[in-house]
Structure 1
Amino acid sequence: MKFTLTTPALIFSTISLLLLAYTNRFSVLANLIRGLHDKAKEKGEKDHIIASQLSSLKKRVKLIRNMQFLAILSLFSCVFSMFLLFLDKNITGEIVFAVGLALLMFSLILSAIEINISVHALNIQLSESVESESFSDNKEE
């Protein structure tokens, strides 16, 4: 395969879309954390459910930060490899591009972990909702 200046450029749109998706996830989490924090302040007491949700959200925010950082490093590696190719440093450019691909893969792995945590938290929330609904159904009878 011939490694040219356009090869690293092919990944730009992918990384840009990933960064946009990661930023959207981060924004949603930030709003959710602010809402839960305000809700905890209103109650004036430590709510076990809110505390566990905030703990889970804290892990997810750290993962998203690391996902974004790795994706940015990946983009930088792609740009740097293009620069190296422009200077006719083909072997070094290929190595830097390979590093960029590896960084992108690690970012995607963290994304899968974050999604798994998110789904687990939703399943807990759903199970609590189902339990409270069945409890309120039994009260009405």
Structure 2
Amino acid sequence: MQVNTDAKPYDTINVTPMLDLAYVLLVVFILMTTASVQGLNISMPKPSNKPSTEKHELKIVQVMPDGGVLLNGVGVSLAELETQLSAAKARDAQMSVAIKGDARTQYASVVAVIDLCNKLGVNMGLVTSRIGT
């Protein structure tokens, strides 16, 4: 075996692998600290255990794909819907409206019904179905 006596000794250290490791550790540290900070703490209200004995009127408004509106299964125009909802609100101030919008319905038709309920000051909710059903 022959020894190379002409070879110079290394006078510098290659720091590239060390810097790569430092950058990877820095990225992991940044990701872990931001992941633990994200999220909101929300205090949800607890349901009451006593059943509600109050009975209030519920109107079901369906918005069809063609833009037509049904009130409890009967076709009405927006003007007739406003008249009937205001009459129902006069009878029962706590009445509610459930709005069912077909998946193929234009968004503007559903928004028109929501705006009408907001204008009348009626309690309302949007009815949805579970995914896959």
Interval of TM-score (by shorter of Structure 1 and Structure 2): under 0.3
Higher helix residue share: 1
Which entry has the higher C-alpha Rg, 1 or 2? 2
Q: Structure 1 length normalisation: TM-score?
A: 0.25
